[in-house]
């Protein structure tokens, strides 16, 4: 039961994190929005296949990648006092814990 909850939560939080990045880039006034989209979304893409298959290594890798988003969100939240920075920080921190717990619990079960 707890493995299914952690997996579902991880999948939802990954989608939410990607949505926050898309919203953030669309609100930016930069001329190179394509580069910002690539920098924001591409780190999440290699893990999608493993997440859908339920691979604990993919969940552990995503947990580590989410730390980059936590760092970015925290810097933005404290320097520009942006609400999206706080949202990104909370989502990425939750994603880190849920992905790590799924990896731990599913590897203990098998």
Q: What is the pLDDT of residues 36-64, one digit of tens each?
A: 899 999 999 999 999 999 999 999 999 99
User: What is the predicted pLDDT for the residue at 94?
Assistant: 98
Nearest-angstrom CA–CA distance, 23 and 52: 24
pLDDT band at 29 (very low <50, low <70, confident <90, very high): confident
DSSP letter for each residue of 68-84: HHHHHHHHHHHHH--HH
pLDDT in tens, 61-107: 999 999 999 999 999 999 998 899 999 999 999 999 999 999 999 99
pLDDT of 50: 95
33 CB-near residues (< 8 Å, 6+ apart): 25, 26
pLDDT band at 21 (very low <50, low <70, confident <90, very high): very high
Residue 88: its H or E element: helix 83-109
Identify the domain containing residue 53 by its residue range.
2-109
> Distance (Å, rounded) from C-alpha 40 to C-alpha 51?
18
Q: How many domains does the chain have?
A: 1
Q: What is the per-residue burial (b if ≥16 Cβ within 10 Å, else e) of 39-57? A: ebeeebeebeebbeeeebe
- Look at residue 110 and tell me whether its pLDDT is greater than 80: no
At 28 the pLDDT is: 85
Distance in angstroms (rounded) separating the CA atoms of residues 1 and 33: 41
């Amino acid at each position: 039961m707890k493995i299914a909850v952690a997996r579902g939560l991880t999948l939802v939080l990954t989608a939410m994190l990607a949505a926050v990045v898309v919203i953030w880039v669309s609100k930016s006034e930069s001329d190179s929005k394509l580069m910002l989209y690539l920098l924001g979304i591409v780190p999440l893409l290699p893990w999608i296949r493993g997440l859908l298959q339920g691979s604990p290594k993919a969940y552990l890798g995503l947990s580590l990648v989410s730390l980059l988003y936590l760092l970015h969100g925290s810097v933005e939240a404290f320097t520009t006092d942006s609400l999206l920075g706080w949202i990104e920080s909370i989502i990425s921190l939750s994603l880190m814990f849920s992905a790590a717990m799924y990896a731990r619990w599913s590897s203990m079960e098998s």
